[in-house]
């Protein structure tokens, strides 16, 4: 797991699997962890890494309901998990779904966990909306399209935008079950002014980006969605994202759109 400070009050931790990011945001004495790393040893180290950096997590947030973003509870079982209203509905409609997907991924990667995932107390948050942290407020913005649920969290006093599975430098747009091309386009349009006003953008998978790099990804993603809508089987993919895995994701996107 790699830890990078993008601001004195914002720390991004990147997992060794899928470059999954977790972002700690601090306001005064309070800190919140958004999303999670994947491997058990990363999760075991997470509390001490944050504490040593001066981040005492008092709350957890997940950008959406995919299992790899819900694992903060394994590191902080005493903390409630905040999610968007649509994510809370998704989790209730799919009881045990995240746990089953985690077990399947663990089996694929030969991972053994000391205990199973328990989501515990899930707090449904109104999105769009605001969430207090210390003397400041996080802005919560809806981000459907990749899935049927999702939210981005903006810390305006830091200029840090945590956008979930969008604007990645390692993944192309993925239309997962429940997502849609129309909703994905709407989310990109919604994210554009947020990115333009941010200093740092943290995707759910990949590296923290500056404003210009994130805006470039946003434009590239829009172009990819155009090619997807045209049904192109071999579209040009952005540099750094033209891999065998992302070609497979594109094939899955084509099948999803039928």
Neighbours of 85 (CB within 10 A): 15
Q: Pick left, alpha or beta for residue 231 (phi over 0 → left; psi -120 to 50 → alpha; otherwise beta).
A: left
- pTM for the model stands at 0.96
Torsion angle defined by CA atoms of residues 117, 110, 11 and 116, in that order, rounded to the nearest 10 degrees: 10
**Is the confidence at residue 84, as pLDDT, over 90?**
yes
How far apart are alpha carbons 152 and 236 in whole angstroms?
Answer: 28
How far apart are alpha carbons 90 and 66 in whole angstroms?
Answer: 10
Q: What is the SS3 assignment for 84?
A: strand
- Listing DSSP states for 114-147 in one string gives SS-----SEEEE-SSEEEEETTEEEEEEE--SSS
- 2-257: CATH architecture: 4-Layer Sandwich (3.60)
Alpha helices in 27-125 (DSSP H): 40-52, 72-75, 85-93, 97-108
For 151-190, how does the pLDDT look when each residue is reduced to its tens digit (9 = 90+)? 999 999 999 999 999 999 999 999 999 999 999 999 999 9
Q: What is the pLDDT of residue 258?
A: 78
Compute the residue count for the chain.
258
How far apart are alpha carbons 172 and 55 in whole angstroms?
Answer: 32
Q: What is the pLDDT of residue 250?
A: 97
Q: What is the mean pLDDT of residues 70-82?
A: 96
b/e map 189-217, b = 16+ CB within 10 Å? ebbeebbeebebbbbbbbbbbebebbbeb
For 99-131, how does the pLDDT look when each residue is reduced to its tens digit (9 = 90+)? 999 999 999 999 999 999 999 889 999 999 999
What are the residue ranges spanned by the domains of the chain?
2-257
Which residues, in sequence order, are CB contacts of 215 under 8 Å at separation 6+? Answer: 192, 195, 196
Q: What is the SS3 assignment for 48?
A: helix
């Amino acid at each position: 797991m790699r830890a990078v400070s993008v601001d004195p009050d914002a720390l991004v931790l990147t997992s060794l699997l899928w470059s999954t990011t977790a972002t700690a945001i601090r306001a005064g004495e309070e800190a919140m962890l958004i999303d999670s790393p994947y491997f058990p040893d990363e999760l075991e180290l997470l509390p001490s890494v944050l504490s040593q950096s001066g981040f005492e997590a008092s709350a957890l947030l997940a950008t959406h309901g995919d299992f790899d973003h819900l694992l903060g509870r394994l590191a902080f079982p005493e903390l409630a998990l905040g999610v968007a209203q649509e994510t809370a509905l998704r989790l209730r409609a799919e009881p045990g779904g995240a746990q089953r997907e985690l077990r399947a991924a663990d089996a694929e990667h030969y991972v053994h966990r000391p205990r199973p995932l328990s989501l515990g107390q899930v707090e449904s948050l109104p999105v769009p909306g605001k969430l207090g942290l210390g003397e400041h407020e996080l802005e919560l913005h809806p981000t459907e399209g990749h899935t049927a649920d999702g939210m981005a969290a903006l810390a305006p006093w830091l200029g840090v935008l945590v956008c979930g599975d969008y604007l990645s430098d390692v993944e192309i747009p993925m239309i997962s079950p429940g997502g849609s091309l129309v909703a994905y386009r709407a989310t990109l349009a919604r994210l554009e002014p947020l990115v333009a006003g941010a200093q740092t953008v943290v995707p759910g998978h990949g590296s923290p980006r500056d404003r210009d790099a994130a805006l470039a990804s946003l434009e590239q993603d829009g172009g990819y969605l155009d090619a997807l809508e045209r049904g192109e089987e071999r579209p040009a993919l952005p540099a750094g994202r033209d891999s065998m895995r992302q070609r497979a994701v594109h094939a899955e996107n084509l099948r999803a759109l039928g």
